[in-house]
Structure 1
Amino acid sequence: MKAMRAIRAQALTVMRAGALAAAALLPWAATPATAQEWRGWNIHAADYPNGQGLDRFGQLVMQRTNNRIRMRTYHSAQLGQQDEAIQQMRLGSIDFGNFNLSPFNNLAPSTNVVTLPFLFRNVAHLHAAIDGATGEEIAKDLEAIGIIALAWYDGGARSVYATRPIRTPADMRGLKIRVQTSDLWIDLMRALNANPTPLPFGEVFTSLQSGVIDAAENNFPSYESTRHFEVARFYSTTEHSNVPEVLAVSRQRWQRLNEQERTILRDAARESAALQRQLWAERERVSRQRVEAAGVTVIEIADRTPWSSLMEPVYAKYAATPRLAGMVQAIRALP
């Protein structure tokens, strides 16, 4: 009997050891108590291309971690406006989000380069830059301030829309125009002799309606989805800027992940970016059709040379260092 008990005890020991070894090979064999709850920020509605991209990102991460990392995106700026959300991410109270790069201009120097006016020839040129060396440089600067860049979304070509027609740079003189909180954007509009007015995005409609500002600038989907076209009926295709957006996670969260988890997040982010870009191109087309059908006057700016020729002081100020000037040169040299 003693011999039998010894055999059984030895067998149980072997089985337990085997189970532990098997569990070690399954990185997601975690109990519900160890699951991580991640909060994500998005300024747009859930059905916007960016919202759909973020939701796909969260779904893929949850699937591939067997729900160990559970992601919930709070759309429509539920967690605050963009500047507030950036600070929350740096502090670690927001875990992931999708941000325009312009609000980072005063925090991460290389983001100034992709914000420079009239830099990108077209969307393909933008993708070649941001998916390559330019994106790597920006990611370094963002990591230094507590934000890990995973992938790049399209932000669309931004143009001026106003309560009166804008056809030439001369029409910008004295115009009170909303800009993002960025010194570069302020100087850009000053170079056009306009009066830049930094305002939160959520205040643009009422400010246009009340006359606090005369104009704003953004892409067709933002212009249409926010119904800014109802109070600013003239859209001029200046396409002065085509700033990419970043899908990022908090560095505090990132530092607590292992390499396999990081790979899952990177892959999911890139797949979500491919979806967002596809949806964005379609949304731009549909949004333009919608505002034109609503009676908006779209003024085509065929020759942007009179506009771009005024931007030399902006480049001199914001691409003055050898590093940033080199980035501009490298982007312009891309095929």
Structure 2
Amino acid sequence: MRFDLSHITSGSAIHLLGNFLYLFGASTALGIAVGLISAYVIKKLYFGRHSTDREVALMILMAYLSYIMAELFDLSGILTVFFCGILMSHYTWHNVTESSRVTTKHAFATMSLISEIFIFLYVGMDALDIEKWTIVSKSPGKSIGVSSILLGLVLVGRAASIFPLSFISNLTKQSQSDKIGFKQQIVIWWAGLMRGAVSMALAYTQFTRSGHTQLQGNAIMITSTITVVLFSTVVFGLLTKPLISFLLPRKHSLTTMPSDLTNLKPLNLPLLANGQDPEGDMNGDPIPRPVSLRMLLTTPSRNVHPYWRKFDDSFMRPVFGGRGFTAHVDSLPTERTIH
């Protein structure tokens, strides 16, 4: 009896691709929906309007709601929160008062810093879990072999993505200076090998039962993951700077004369020139130099951005609010009190 293995393989690949597209699309749509709902609630329904405490609480709870809903429907919480944050930063954040914007900015920055510290503590405490290391100590050779294989797979997987993609990118570049050199590719490959909390979380999710390790194989996989994370973070991280200094030494001194700086062209001038000569214009006046990201995005250019701005100004902002990159001057406290 012969089995059609090719049919099974192609069917599995199509099934995995379908699951990936569903996961990505559904998570993105859920994040966008929650972000738009939060903007609509604050702008139209006036829940907690002009109250800093309520506005900040509502924004935090709506962002957390997107993550909870993603977990409820077995979607990607990371993707959902990511796209929800984009929509909230573009619409919701501009619908609240100035004090709420300042408070929200510092509140999220503080929570981000605390979460990052907690992740490092979590990884360090897992590395000192005696229960798993005791089980692994019965077969140290197997543990070292698994750790070596995992590290080798990380090296090969990173190289399989960096070098082919860099080659494809270089094919689209005409100027030699715009191409990614082989030494630069090595630096990108080396510096991107650090793995951390996500790998630890996936290992614990896959190889633990009820929060405790019960099988030797599970303990070996978890400790091997910890070993690869610590080794890649410490060894590869410490050697990244010497590697950059060796492969990409600085050829020019930082003490550049002011006269030389005038000859340097900003990288974003092709975007702002709109097809004109960047060295000048028809009237002989110099083209205004970009001084900020807001100016770069608001200046007309031949790309998709003007079409998005028209759609955003005509349909999205009248419903969901937000000022985006439009110039805005906050009124003085006395003026807000009078009005």
Question: Structures share a fold, TM > 0.5?
Answer: no
Point out the structure with the larger strand share.
1
Structure number with the higher helix fraction is 2
Which one has more relative contact order, counting CA pairs under 8 Å at least 6 apart?
1
